[in-house]
């Protein structure tokens, strides 16, 4: 599990990244912070496009930052948005994140102080089974 001080740091980083979002179409700004096993934190924010399918989610921009810097293994990701309930990664982000770390911890939060923590496996159980088969585990 991730200790409380690291979770707090991830949430602060994700909130700050959210402030730099480019979301002129939905007005739904999202920030993410990805914790590498190295201890480094990579921030990301959503970047929208008028063609929604070309938009980038905050989680994937954080992942791209990490990959460019050589990080390939992760412990946790925090996602923050101004939503009623804590914001979880979308299905596409769940799949992309699971490509690199299927036992990732997801820290979901909103701006009202609600925070939920759960393993990615809980949000994407079928993908977890696929990864086990691909990697030769039972």
Q: At 13, which helix (H) or strand (E)?
A: helix 4-18
> What is the C-alpha to C-alpha distance for residues 38 and 93, in angstroms, rounded to an integer?
21
The answer to whether 46 and 61 have CB atoms below 8 angstroms apart is yes
Find the catalytic residue in 59, 71, 116, 122: 59
Query: C-alpha distances in angstroms, 57 versus 20, 40, 96, 129, 132?
Result: 13, 20, 11, 25, 26
Q: Is 9 exposed, middle or buried (0-12, 13-18, 19+ CB in 10 A)?
A: middle
Residue 71 is among the residues annotated as catalytic for this protein? no
Q: Which residues are catalytic?
A: 59
């Amino acid at each position: 599990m991730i200790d409380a001080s690291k979770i707090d740091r991830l949430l602060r980083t994700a909130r700050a990244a959210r402030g730099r979002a480019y979301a002129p179409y939905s007005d739904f700004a999202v920030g993410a912070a990805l914790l590498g096993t190295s201890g480094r934190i990579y921030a990301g924010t959503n970047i929208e496009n008028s063609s929604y399918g070309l938009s980038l989610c905050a989680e994937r921009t954080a992942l791209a930052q990490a990959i460019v810097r050589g990080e390939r293994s992760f412990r946790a990701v925090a996602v923050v948005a101004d939503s009623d309930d804590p914001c979880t990664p979308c299905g596409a982000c769940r799949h992309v994140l699971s490509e690199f770390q299927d036992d990732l911890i997801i820290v979901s939060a909103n701006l009202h102080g609600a925070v939920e923590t759960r393993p990615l496996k809980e949000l994407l159980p079928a993908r977890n089974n696929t990864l086990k088969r691909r990697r030769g585990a039972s």
